């Protein structure tokens, strides 16, 4: 009698989690191209593995303005939207025509951040910038605007069938006490670029960013929690705030001991990665720690032995993608070895990596990339753990 593939995959995950992994090093096997089209600016991916081993990579796609004869392409576009591609063979080949996740009716969707919940439903968080005439935006002091774009805040989408159909958008509440408004002159909904984490307690944890004040433009990061898979959200506590430093684009992970760790991108701190940790189930966070290394931004996953694989973009020469293996509680960041996955990037417009285990036990890091300032595309690096 044959065993269904989904059951085999579940048994493989359990088996891998029980293997004692001693003194293993991270080895890059090869780089791959996941999606590239000269007509489109493709960026800001995320990835999950389905129970049957299928890989789903989501990303933001927008017109490549240089292809249309314009001088440059930017990170905000009135015609950006969310799409996904699939792989059935551990990342070797990918569907060629992306499937639409969501196109916001006011345009400007950004960074689709996927998480697969324990019930195998998918949740995708995003946020958006709507095009508006600058002279109109500047008349309203309480909204966040950047040139000709006005911030819409965050939203979430849900799928119960592996990303074939999506419901939503769900509009999360704002961070309490914040006065900024979105395009619709409503309190700005919570948002973030970065992985959520579903805890052992059944809560879904989401690190969200918001403006610290209306004058400086700095942002800070707070924790929201959901008891129902992302349908509703409650405010929990601050993660990282500072009168001079900006925090944003935060990745969460829970360690084997139950510590909730946040890896935060910064500004005005020499681009250093910052770590904040909660030892009480996300009720509060200890003071943030400067790791001393640069990252833009991050994604983390637990290895079979409990160590943490952290990946991040590197937007300084030589431009590329980097990684570190941290101890199970991420306390050795000062002594950890930086692993260079890519250093052939054309400029700083790259990165935003996301990592997942694959069905064969290897790992796939996805990111957006360019070479020689060429077309922005979705690429990846396949990694394996080899005994030293």
Taking the C-alpha atoms of residue 306 and residue 298, their distance in angstroms, rounded to an integer, is 18
> What confidence score (pLDDT) does residue 383 get?
98
> What confidence score (pLDDT) does residue 145 get?
67
- pLDDT tens profile 72-95: 999 999 999 999 999 999 999 999
Structure tokens at 63: 């017109």
Name the pLDDT band for 59 (thresholds 50, 70, 90).
very high
> What confidence score (pLDDT) does residue 1 get?
44
- pLDDT tens profile 175-226: 999 888 888 889 999 999 999 999 999 999 999 999 988 778 899 999 999 9
Asked if pLDDT for residue 169 goes beyond 90, the answer is yes
Name the pLDDT band for 140 (thresholds 50, 70, 90).
low
Domain chopping of the chain, boundaries? 25-387
Asked if pLDDT for residue 70 goes beyond 90, the answer is yes
Q: What is the pTM of this model?
A: 0.93
Structure tokens at 152: 């819409």
Q: Are the beta carbons of 109 and 128 closer than 8 angstroms? A: yes
Mean per-residue pLDDT of the chain: 92
Class of domain 25-387: mainly beta
> What confidence score (pLDDT) does residue 23 get?
54
């Amino acid at each position: 009698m044959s065993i269904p593939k989904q059951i085999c995959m579940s048994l493989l995950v359990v088996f891998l989690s029980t293997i004692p992994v001693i003194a293993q090093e991270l080895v890059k096997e090869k780089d791959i191209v996941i999606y590239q089209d000269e007509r489109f600016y493709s960026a800001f991916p995320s990835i999950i593995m389905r129970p049957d081993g299928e890989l789903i990579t989501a990303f933001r796609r927008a017109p490549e303005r240089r292809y249309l004869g314009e001088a440059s392409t930017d990170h905000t576009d009135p015609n950006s939207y969310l799409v996904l591609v699939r792989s059935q063979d551990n990342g070797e080949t990918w569907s060629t025509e992306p499937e639409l996740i969501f196109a916001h009716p006011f345009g400007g969707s950004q960074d689709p951040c996927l998480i697969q919940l324990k019930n195998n439903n998918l949740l995708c968080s995003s946020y958006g910038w709507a095009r508006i005439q600058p002279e109109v935006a500047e008349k309203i002091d309480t909204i966040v605007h950047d040139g000709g774009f006005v911030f819409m805040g965050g939203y979430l989408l849900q799928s119960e069938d592996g990303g074939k159909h999506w419901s939503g958008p769900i509009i999360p509440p704002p961070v309490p006490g914040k006065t900024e408004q979105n395009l619709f002159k409503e309190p700005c909904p919570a948002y973030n670029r970065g992985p959520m984490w579903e805890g052992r307690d059944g809560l879904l944890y989401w690190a969200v960013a918001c403006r610290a004040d209306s004058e400086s433009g700095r942002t800070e990061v707070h924790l929201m929690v959901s008891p129902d898979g992302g349908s509703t959200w409650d405010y929990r506590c601050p993660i990282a705030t500072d009168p001079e430093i900006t925090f944003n684009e935060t990745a969460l992970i829970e360690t084997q001991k139950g510590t909730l760790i946040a890896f935060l991108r910064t500004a005005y701190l020499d681009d250093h990665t910052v770590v904040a940790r909660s030892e009480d189930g996300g009720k509060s966070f200890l003071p943030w720690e400067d790791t001393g290394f640069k990252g833009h931004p991050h994604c983390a996953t637990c290895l079979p032995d409990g160590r943490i694989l952290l990946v991040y973009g590197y937007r300084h020469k030589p431009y590329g993608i980097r990684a570190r293996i941290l101890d199970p509680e991420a306390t050795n960041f000062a002594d950890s070895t930086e692993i260079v996955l890519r250093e052939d990037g054309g400029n700083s417009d790259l990165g935003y990596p996301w990592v997942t285990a694959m069905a064969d036990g290897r790992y796939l890091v996805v990111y957006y990339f360019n070479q020689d300032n060429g077309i922005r595309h979705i690429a990846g690096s396949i990694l394996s753990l080899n005994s030293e």
